Amino acid sequence: MSLPSLAEREALLTQAQQLCNDNGAELVFLTLFGADLYGTAQADKSDRDWRGLFLPLPETLVLGQMVRTLHLTTGQTDRCNLAEDLDLDLWSVQYWLKLLSAGDIGALDLIFAPSHPEAVIYIDSRLSPFFDQPLRLLDTIHSRTYADYSLKQAAKYGIKGSRLAVCRALQRYLQTGHLPPQTRLEGHLEALVEAGGDLKFCRLAEVQNRPGLYLGGKLFPGGLKITELRAWLEKEMLRYGNRAAEAEANRGLDVKALSHAIRALSQVREIFETGRLVFPLKNRAEITAIKEGCLTWAELSPLILERLAEVDRLKTTAIFQGRHETAWANRLLLACYGLALSGGTEASPRF
C-alpha cells in the first residue's frame, strides 16, 4: 500500500484543521498511523488511519468546554472499514500526556511517529521539545501496559497462564469427585488454589469478611457450594472453550489482534535496547506474516510468551528507561500557551 499523495495529504490536513476549528481547538500534529506507520499495510486490505494532536483554545479551557478527543471517519457503523475508508483520531495534548504517563501503546506510537518523516503531515514547532526527549514523558519503570495489551489480544485464545487455563484445571479437578458437591468452598480453599496452579489467577481472598476464593478477577465467598462453583466453571468453559479449541486447531484466529500483541512487545523491546523507536518497524515482515495467517496458533502462543518474558527481563536491566517527569511535561505544555510554571507545583493539569 503506497503512501498518500500530496493532494491526499493536503485534503486531510484541511479536514483536520476544520475539525479542530469547529471544536475550539488548534491542530498541532498530524501523522499517518497504524499499518501505514508500522510498514505493515496490505494492498486492498488495510484502511488508512490518521492520528493527531490539538491544543484546546484558552477560552475553551477557561469556560470548561474543552474536549479530549475528536474523530472523523468515512466508514460505516454496520461494516468493517474498507481499504478506501479513512479514520482520523485527534487527541488533546493534555490527554496524550496523561496516556503517555500510563504507558498507553497508542500514545507511545505517536511520540515516535516523527522517526518516519514520510508519514508526518504536519507538526507545530511548539511540539518539538516533546518529540526530542520522549523518555522523559514515558513510564517504563512502573508501567507494564505492554504486557496487559499483548495478553489481552491473546488471552481469549487460551494462552498458557490465562484465566481460561486455570478454569480448565479447576474444572478437571472438580470432575474427579474429590470434593462433595454440596459442601462449601471454605472447607476446601487450599485444595482449590493448589488445583488452579497459578496464584496470579487463583488464590485465597477475603470476601465479605470471610475466607473466599479469587478466580481470574472474580471473588467467590467461602459459603458458596462446590456444585455452584462447578456450574460457573462449566458456563465459562462454554463461553470461551470453543474459541480456545478452535485456536488449537488453527481456526477462527484473529490474526490482526495477535499481530498487535507481537508488535507491542517488539516496540517496547526496541525502546529498552536503544532508547528510541523507529518507524517503519524493523520486524514489519514478521508482523505482516502474522497478519496474513502464515503462523499457526501453536507457533504464536509460545512466541508471545517468549517475547513477554524477554521484555520483562529487559525492564529490570535496561539502560534506557522511560521516567515520566510531570513538572517538565507541565512546563512544556504551558509553554505551548506562552505561559510559565509558577509556584514549583508538579500537579498534573486536569483535562
Asked if 132 contacts 151 with a C-beta cutoff of 8 angstroms, the reply is no
Q: Which of 192, 201, 151, 143 is nearest to 171 (CA)?
A: 192
How far apart are alpha carbons 264 and 109 in whole angstroms?
9
Q: What residues does 25 pair with on adjacent strands? A: 56
Domain boundaries along the sequence of the chain: 6-139+322-336, 145-157+253-317, 163-248
3-class secondary-structure state, position 219: strand
Q: Contact at 8 Å (CB) between 26 and 17?
A: no
Classified by CATH at the fold level, domain 6-139+322-336 comes out as Beta Polymerase; domain 2 (3.30.460)
Model pTM?
0.71
Which pLDDT tens digits describe the chain residue by residue (351 residues)? 678 889 999 999 999 999 999 999 999 999 999 999 999 988 766 678 999 999 999 999 999 999 999 999 865 444 344 445 678 999 999 999 999 988 888 999 999 999 999 999 999 999 999 999 999 999 887 776 766 777 666 655 555 445 677 888 898 899 888 899 899 999 999 999 999 888 877 899 988 889 999 987 788 999 999 999 999 988 877 766 565 556 556 666 678 888 888 998 899 899 999 999 999 999 999 999 998 889 887 788 788 888 888 888 888 888 898 888 999 999 999 999 999 866 544 444 444
Degrees to nearest 5, angle at CA 133 with 128 and 135: 140
SS3 (DSSP) at 83: coil
Q: Do 304 and 311 touch, CB atoms closer than 8 A? A: no
CA–CA distance, 329 with 332 (Å, rounded to integer): 5
Q: Classify 322 as helix, strand or coil.
A: coil
Q: Angle formed by the axes of helices 255-274 and 297-317, to 10°? A: 20
Q: CA 348 → CA 18, 135, 145, 334, distances in Å?
A: 29, 18, 20, 11
